[in-house]
Amino acid sequence: MTGPALQRDVIVCCGAGGVGKTTVSAALGLALASRGEDVVVVTIDPARRLAAALGMHELGDDPQEVSPDAIARAELGPGGGRMWALQLDSKATFDRLVARHAPTEEARERIMANRIYQHMSGAVAGAQEYMAVERLFELREDGRFARIVLDTPPAGNALDFLDAPERMTRFIEGRALRTMLGPAAGAGRLGWRALHAGTAAAMSLLERLTGAQLLRDIADFLRGFDGMYAGVAERAKAVEALLRSDATGFLVVTAPEPEPVREAVMLGRRLSDEEYHLDGVVLNRMHALPASGLGAAAALAAALGGPADDPDGLAARACAALEDARRIALRDLDLRETVAARVAAPLTEVPAMADEPVEVAGIAGIARALAG
């Protein structure tokens, strides 16, 4: 991996779900700590074995230090650095956002106790993506960590990550809910009384369909956020500014499969078009061509003899396996060329491993591949 990819204060690993972003993020953190840096890795949902390999248990929202022995066992450098990891808790991050911007203590408590907030704060579109970068911003302000590596959520569309700040400000503003409720929500308690001023039959039907308490909760939810919009919008702008600053670089992580590659190309182009710092593309789980070349299957069959010498069909099965390996490797090469031709960024390959890299040795192997 060349250029400023490993020099930024903040490294954002983004891409489709299932391509290995979490493991790549852990490998980057391990590499940075091994060369003497203090780094924190924000993970989304690490495998239990991955956390255990790094000497951590019960990862939560607070940074937990990785065992120094795990860093030493990686044998990636002289050491001297420290590494922390945390698992993103979107709800806890959202709660802190509310606590920071609620105009009064009473408003904060009302929002926290509201059933609509409790259900929506972790499920609203873009919430997890935004809370990931909000948590990144908190850690940046914390000042304890020289470097931050962010493993972004596995969104249905990798581009959702870039839209998250705008979605969050729309959510806090409550435009969609206000539209749904009409004048009742916008007019506060007076509007609520006006809603009840309709015919008894119509109101009875509305309460049976939705529950009057639900409507009250929604109206109270919107009132609770009054006065917060400006503060949250300003915070979203600060988060956006950090993502665009020279301190932050993006790595698009993908795998040699058609859909992840398609999303990687779209994401890479958008990052470049919108002038984020796209520092590279990591093509994970690449399969190498069999070392014996394209004629290996015929040579293997000849070496193992014919059916009389091989009653169990070992030669046929070995040739089939070799042909499958060749086909997969050629597919991977085609997809690599697609990425290289369509995304203007350095491309780093990480080889496919026989086992899921959730031990220190496997993570260190990925770190070495990233370092070239």
Element (H, E) at 128: helix 127-142
The number of helix segments (H) and strand segments (E) in the chain equals 18, 8
341 — phi, psi (to 5°)? Answer: -80, -25
Query: Quick one: tokens of 121?
Result: 């704060």
In a domain, 247, yes or no: yes
Query: Quick one: tokens of 358?
Result: 């959730």
Range of the domain at 188: 184-224
In a domain, 119, yes or no: no
Q: Identify whether residues 282 and 301 lie together within a single domain.
A: no
Q: Mind listing the pLDDT tens digit of every residue in the chain (372 residues)? A: 666 778 999 999 999 989 999 999 999 999 999 999 999 999 887 777 778 778 777 788 999 999 899 899 999 999 899 999 999 888 899 899 889 988 888 888 888 888 878 877 666 656 788 888 899 999 999 999 999 999 988 766 667 778 888 877 777 666 555 554 444 444 444 443 444 444 444 445 445 545 556 667 767 777 777 778 788 888 888 998 999 999 999 999 999 999 999 999 999 999 999 999 999 999 999 999 886 655 555 666 666 665 556 656 676 777 788 889 989 999 999 999 999 999 999 999 999 988 778 788 899 999 999 987
How far apart CA 64 and CA 242 sit, in angstroms, is: 24
User: How wide is the angle at C-alpha 252 spanned by C-alphas 44 and 370, nearest 5°?
Assistant: 90
How far apart CA 266 and CA 115 sit, in angstroms, is: 38
Q: Identify whether residues 322 and 239 lie together within a single domain.
A: no
* Domain tally, the chain: 3
Q: What is the pTM of this model?
A: 0.83
Residue 238 gets the label, from left (phi > 0), alpha (psi -120 to 50) or beta, of: alpha
Give me the pLDDT at residue 203, please.
42
Give me the pLDDT at residue 164, please.
80
Q: Identify whether residues 362 and 272 lie together within a single domain.
A: yes
Element (H, E) at 83: strand 82-87
Q: Identify whether residues 9 and 52 lie together within a single domain.
A: yes
Bridge partners (DSSP) of residue 151 are: 13
Strand order in 248-254's β-sheet?
A: 64-65, 82-87, 38-43, 147-151, 10-14, 248-254, 278-286, 347-351
Where do the DSSP E strands lie in 125-167?
A: 147-151
Of residues 254, 67, 270, 264, the one with CA closest to residue 162:
270
Q: Report helix, strand or coil for 253.
A: strand
Give me the pLDDT at residue 68, please.
92
Residue 252, domain CATH: 3.40.50.300
In a domain, 165, yes or no: yes
Q: Identify whether residues 139 and 83 lie together within a single domain.
A: yes
In a domain, 310, yes or no: yes
In a domain, 219, yes or no: yes
Q: Identify whether residues 286 and 309 lie together within a single domain.
A: no
Q: How far apart are the first and last CA of the chain?
A: 6
Give me the pLDDT at residue 342, please.
97
37 — phi, psi (to 5°)? Answer: -100, 150
Contacts of 129 (CB under 8 A, 6+ apart): 152, 153, 155, 160, 161, 163, 164, 167
CB count within 10 Å of CB 366 equals 23
Give me the pLDDT at residue 141, please.
94
How far apart CA 8 and CA 87 sit, in angstroms, is: 22
**Residue 309 CB-density burial (10 A; 0-12 exposed, 13-18 middle, 19+ buried):** exposed
Give me the pLDDT at residue 348, please.
96
In a domain, 179, yes or no: no
Of residues 87, 73, 79, 147, the one with CA closest to residue 365:
73
Bridge partners (DSSP) of residue 40 are: 84, 148
Q: Identify whether residues 196 and 80 lie together within a single domain.
A: no
pLDDT tens string 183-204: 444 444 444 344 444 444 444 5
How far apart CA 164 and CA 129 sit, in angstroms, is: 6
How far apart CA 219 and CA 99 sit, in angstroms, is: 20
Q: Identify whether residues 286 and 301 lie together within a single domain.
A: no
Q: Identify whether residues 163 and 269 lie together within a single domain.
A: yes
Mind giving me the DSSP string for 49-72?
HHHHHTT--S--SS-EEPPHHHHH
Q: Identify whether residues 83 and 138 lie together within a single domain.
A: yes
How far apart CA 31 and CA 348 sit, in angstroms, is: 15
Q: Identify whether residues 31 and 67 lie together within a single domain.
A: yes
Q: Identify whether residues 203 and 239 lie together within a single domain.
A: no
Residues of 33-50 as b/e, b for ≥16 C-beta within 10 angstroms?
bbeebebbbbbbebeeeb
In a domain, 34, yes or no: yes
pLDDT tens string 276-301: 999 999 999 999 988 665 555 566 66
In a domain, 71, yes or no: yes
